[in-house]
Structure 1
Amino acid sequence: MADVLQTYTELSSSTPRSQVSSVLQSIINAPPFTFDQSSRAELIRLLLKDLKSLGPKSRLTTKDAAQALLAVKTLGRIPSGSEPLSEAGNLSTLLSLSTSLKDEPEASTEALRCIANTLLLFDHARQTLISKEVNGGDACVSMLDKATTPEQTFTLARILFFLTVSRSAFIQSLIEEKRPGRTIVDIIASKLDTTMVSILAGTKFARDAMTDILKVAFNILLHYPKMVGSEPSSDAKEWDDSWSTKLEGLLPPLLRAYHTIPPTFPMPLVAPLTHIIHALIVIPVNPSLRPIWFNMIPPAMGRSSTSSRTSSSRKSSTNINSASSSPVLGSPTLGPSESPDRRSNTSIKPSTLDRALSVISAGRKSLSRSPSPSPPSTSRDVFQRTHDLLEVAFSHHFPDNSDPDSQEVREAFKQEVEATGAPSDTSLDDILSPLVVLCTRLCLADESSRVRMREWTVPPDLDRTNPLDERADFLGRCIRLLGSVYHTRLKDAVGEMLYAACDSDAALLSSLFGYGHVAGLLFNKGVMSAPPPPSTSLSSSAPDPSSSTTGQREINPITGTYAPNGPTVSATADMTEDEKEQEMEKLFVLFDRLERELELFARKRRRCVEFSCRDGTL
């Protein structure tokens, strides 16, 4: 749009400010494709040049900065013609404006938004920003540390998210180099606590800020251990648990956020809770971190520096087994050299989040001001929290005894996705599978968690009169998901969770849930037929299928329900015609998939034979 470009070019320092504002607003309001590539690029360069020389002798003054930067951001939304924004000089200009305009918060934030949008559109700009010429990475970390509002935190975290998406030396420098005495781990931990306080207060942009901080944390947790060649943990057979002790400081604030984040409606699992779960999954439940995971150390130790936390964790690891079997789960464990008297005399400094929660809690209990709010109770049970979230999420998305593959369930989820503004391609697999995986990891790492999971899911006094897959509880939903066709990732995750809860023992799994319900899962693990009943020492909750003593009924090992006392009736006798059709449709889908897989296998086999014949090896 040459006339807008010409109009802006004709502006001068003597032009009335109202006219300058009008021209800038016309750029902002112009439709996206009003400008061609050359005019867009030229206008961006002119605006940045004028912004660099703000003052009474320039076209733009400090008061025009916010509107001019908004015009730059609007122009930069279209990649074609926006390439000048990715140049080192212009990135430096935007970075300089974000700091020099600190007295104009809106202008400063707009400059950062321009950088964030540029990093989104141009991948090469990410390397340019962290280059020595610009040094934007260090500058953004410093600004994040000093950020005081959720909006500033959100924008800076978004920039750092783009800078840490791929492995680079910048990630390594973030962890290993201290900036004003603090590493990125310290900064992230602090921001997680402060943004949680803002979320509880209902502050705008607070959830967005925490979400993007968690994205940065996830990138660091994912990349850094592999970059430094850390030794995998002992349970790396199941998971890629490369780890670095320099990241241990992220676990306590993540767990605090996991326990404190308020519930949401209608969907119980939304950002930032989903991102907390993603970050927790990447952190191993190894011996040094196990006391923190299961709250076996005093609060001060959980919030101390990384070095002291590591040494304390090692001291406490000798008492892990006794603590995990304690009647009070999650109770603090004293180290060998720490007596109760000594600990009682130690001053425990609560975190920012704890102090805020104490004030909120005190305000709810009494209208009078408390002279010194005490830290909240630290009896946080990560496994209980995970199980509660699973119960709530499963009962919400699969109400009553509904079929997870039903059209009603899938349509209801689509409507919720639209209502919450989540990406349209979001699936139930994306939302629920990570939480199930977290539960699985906790079960694999902790025997008491496995026992609790079994007792919660299949209690010893379970009424097995009706089919287990028709129950309107967590057990019934898990069994129905094991036969799901549409939610394949969730199906596999639930199967692994149940298998882990049963001590990875096929016999125990089959006895608790019925071999018919877990046959597919066990087949994928190489168990081709029903395993023999487990020994009674494996689990007190495992039923005895052959029991016929007074007060106990015989259990069908295939269905997991009570065996009928009278003559056996057909399995489809109680099914309606619609239910029979649904089962037939499932079978047709499975047979079709099997047929296609067999056909593909046959083609590969024929090709191998043909190649062997040509080479003369057959």
Structure 2
Amino acid sequence: MASTAQVTAAQPSSSQKKLDEVTALLAKLTVDLKETNLLPHQRNSILEELKVHGRVVENADPLFTKDGIETLARYGFESTSSVTSREALRCLANALLLQPKTRQILVDLGYGDKAAERLKNDNRDDEFLISRILFLMTYDTNLDYEKLVADHQLAESINQAIARHSKRYSKSSRRASQTQPMDTMALSEILKLMFNITHFYPDLADQFSKSIPHIFKILFRSKIPNPPLQPPIKYLVNALLNLDLEDKKQSHFGLNAVFPKFDQKCNAEHLINILDNAIVAYPEGELDQAAAPVLTLIRRVYEIAPDSVKKYMEWLLLPTDDERNRPLGKSDTLSARLLRLSTSALTPNLRGSISSMMFELSGKDAAKFVHNVGYGFASGFLLSHNIAVPESAMEAFSTNAKGEEGEDSSKRVNPITGQRLDAEPEDTGPKMTQEEKEREAERLFVLFERLKKTGVVNVKNPVEQAVEEGRFEELDDD
């Protein structure tokens, strides 16, 4: 009787079994390409098995060779059966995702052109699969996308696909009507492809300008999900980043695409709502990457916005006078959350972008910037950008509530914290001794001298000013 060890040794391992199965299945397909000896359901069944095996790289090596990729590509792009073709394309897309070397193999076999032609089909499954394959081939290959645009109308195919998607979005309900999961997946893939083409080939960006109104339409009429930056929202935002929103070449829809006549502020407001929801929904570490594109797009929209939209965006994003009952950044408003993020150690990418946006919302004026957010939040940005702060910016200033008439204009505001002086808590602690006052004065004197030497802030040391004005008396040692 054979021992257990001998029986185990005689059986192939699961890894070897998988490798043998993949090899055998590919061999059957190769023979079928020459002799057409398989029935349609047999062919599809083999491709489906290969798709399952190909989801994990280990022991699926034959799929990632030149012969394996060519076999899958011939079924994917040349089969007369749509079912067979799509099963093969699914196998191919998995291979390109898991093994980067296969992307150049597919290009060398000449299937880049065929993929661009296939994208002309008005079919969600084809759109999803072909877009993903073309998207993956933007990495690690020498595929010429300029040639695909010129010779195979790739940009026009993408524009038409996005236009078809936009028709599904209801005008009244601001939600997708009759949207299936495959619709969302196909839209996400086509947007990812557009982003990569415009990123790696910026000269081609103008070819996609006609999609700008359709992308904004889908974005505006999409209900903000929770969390908000799920597909396709984040891909809609990303796709707009590289496009000519200002229409500098005046060849398409002009600024009406971004600021439509029926409501010029609607797109800007919707983007700010997405940002507001994102800040609440994501932890800071995750938010740093997720929200950066939204913030960048908001800044781009503000830059080209008409004055009325700019004022509205400033009202939504900058602190209101009502917030000055407390130090700025302490309330639960969008502006307060943004200010807190601008100093958070967990948001290195957002920190600079938020401060830059606040500076832009302040007309790129240092004094107005300090007025809007307080010197405590403004100082780091101004120092790092070597922007001088006018002496007047460090004085307490008066402010009125936005849009309210008759508000007491004499209310003074602390320039450091942004809080109204009459709302600051009274100091109920023990009074400083004369010795403590002298030490504090000496410390402040040193700090002001250091600040003056930086050349960034144009302020006069208060001790120096007191001496000049005759308000300083030097006492004898006794």
TM-score, normalised by the number of residues in structure 2: 0.74
Contact 1:116 1:155 in 2 (8 A): yes
Q: In the alignment, which residue of structure 1 is the partner of 2:363?
A: 503
Q: In the alignment, which residue of structure 2 is the partner of 1:279?
A: 239
Contact 1:119 1:159 in 2 (8 A): yes
Query: Once the 2 structures are TM-superposed, how far is the Cα of residue 479 of structure 1 from its aligned partner?
Result: 1.6
The CA distance in 2 between the partners of 1:500 and 1:454, in whole Å, is 10
Alignment of 1:382-461 (within 5 A): 382-394=267-279, 396-397=280-281, 410=283, 427-446=286-305, 448=307, 449-458=309-318
Which of 118, 124, 133 is the aligned partner of 1:143?
A: 118
Question: Over residues 312-356 of structure 1, what are the superposed CA-to-partner deviations in whole Å (9 max), with x where a residue is unaligned?
Answer: xxxxxxxxxxxxxxxxx643xxxxxxxxxxxxxxxxxxxxxxxxx
Query: Once the 2 structures are TM-superposed, how far is the Cα of residue 211 of structure 1 from its aligned partner?
Result: 1.1
Question: Over residues 213-265 of structure 1, what are the superposed CA-to-partner deviations in whole Å (9 max), with x where a residue is unaligned?
Answer: 1111011000112xxxx5xxxxxxxxxxxx753343343333233223x2254
The CA distance in 1 between the partners of 2:49 and 2:413, in whole Å, is 72
The CA distance in 2 between the partners of 1:263 and 1:82, in whole Å, is 42
> CA, structure 1 residues 292+129, in 2 after alignment: closer, same or farther (shift >3 Å)?
same
The CA distance in 1 between the partners of 2:182 and 2:399, in whole Å, is 47
What's the % identity of the aligned pairs? 21
Please tell me the residue identity of whatever aligns with 2:104: Q
Query: Once the 2 structures are TM-superposed, how far is the Cα of residue 80 of structure 1 from its aligned partner?
Result: 4.5
Q: In the alignment, which residue of structure 1 is the partner of 2:470?
A: none
> Is the partner of 2:412 in helix, strand or coil?
coil
Contact 2:159 2:208 in 1 (8 A): no
Alignment of 1:334-373 (within 5 A): none
Question: Over residues 263-291 of structure 1, what are the superposed CA-to-partner deviations in whole Å (9 max), with x where a residue is unaligned?
Answer: 25421221111011112112244452689
Unaligned ranges ≥5, structure 1: 1-29, 231-242, 303-328, 332-376, 398-408, 414-425, 535-539, 572-618
The CA distance in 2 between the partners of 1:292 and 1:451, in whole Å, is 26
Contact 2:103 2:140 in 1 (8 A): no
* 1:525 and 2:396 matched: no
Which of 141, 161, 181 is the aligned partner of 1:204?
A: 181
> CA, structure 1 residues 101+464, in 2 after alignment: closer, same or farther (shift >3 Å)?
same
Contact 2:128 2:187 in 1 (8 A): yes
Please tell me the residue identity of whatever aligns with 1:115: L
Which of 468, 488, 500 is the aligned partner of 2:348?
A: 488
Which of 74, 82, 86 is the aligned partner of 1:109?
A: 86
* 1:33 and 2:22 matched: no
> CA, structure 1 residues 54+210, in 2 after alignment: closer, same or farther (shift >3 Å)?
farther
Q: In the alignment, which residue of structure 2 is the partner of 1:98?
A: 76
Which of 35, 43, 55 is the aligned partner of 1:65?
A: 43
**CA radius of gyration, larger in:** 2
Contact 2:319 2:373 in 1 (8 A): no
Query: Once the 2 structures are TM-superposed, how far is the Cα of residue 390 of structure 1 from its aligned partner?
Result: 2.2
Q: In the alignment, which residue of structure 2 is the partner of 1:162?
A: 136
> CA, structure 1 residues 284+501, in 2 after alignment: closer, same or farther (shift >3 Å)?
farther
> Is the partner of 2:427 in helix, strand or coil?
coil
The CA distance in 2 between the partners of 1:562 and 1:53, in whole Å, is 84
Q: In the alignment, which residue of structure 1 is the partner of 2:476?
A: none
Question: Over residues 132-151 of structure 1, what are the superposed CA-to-partner deviations in whole Å (9 max), with x where a residue is unaligned?
Answer: xx321121222221142x23
Alignment of 1:184-203 (within 5 A): 184-197=154-167, 200-203=177-180
Alignment of 1:11-50 (within 5 A): 33=15, 35=17, 37=19, 39=20, 42-50=23-31
Query: Once the 2 structures are TM-superposed, how far is the Cα of residue 194 of structure 1 from its aligned partner?
Result: 2.6
Query: Once the 2 structures are TM-superposed, how far is the Cα of residue 196 of structure 1 from its aligned partner?
Result: 4.5
Q: In the alignment, which residue of structure 1 is the partner of 2:339?
A: 479
Contact 1:252 1:292 in 2 (8 A): no
Alignment of 1:234-383 (within 5 A): 244-260=205-221, 262-286=222-246, 288=248, 295-296=255-256, 330-331=260-261, 381-383=266-268
Unaligned ranges ≥5, structure 2: 1-11, 169-175, 430-478
> Is the partner of 2:329 in helix, strand or coil?
helix
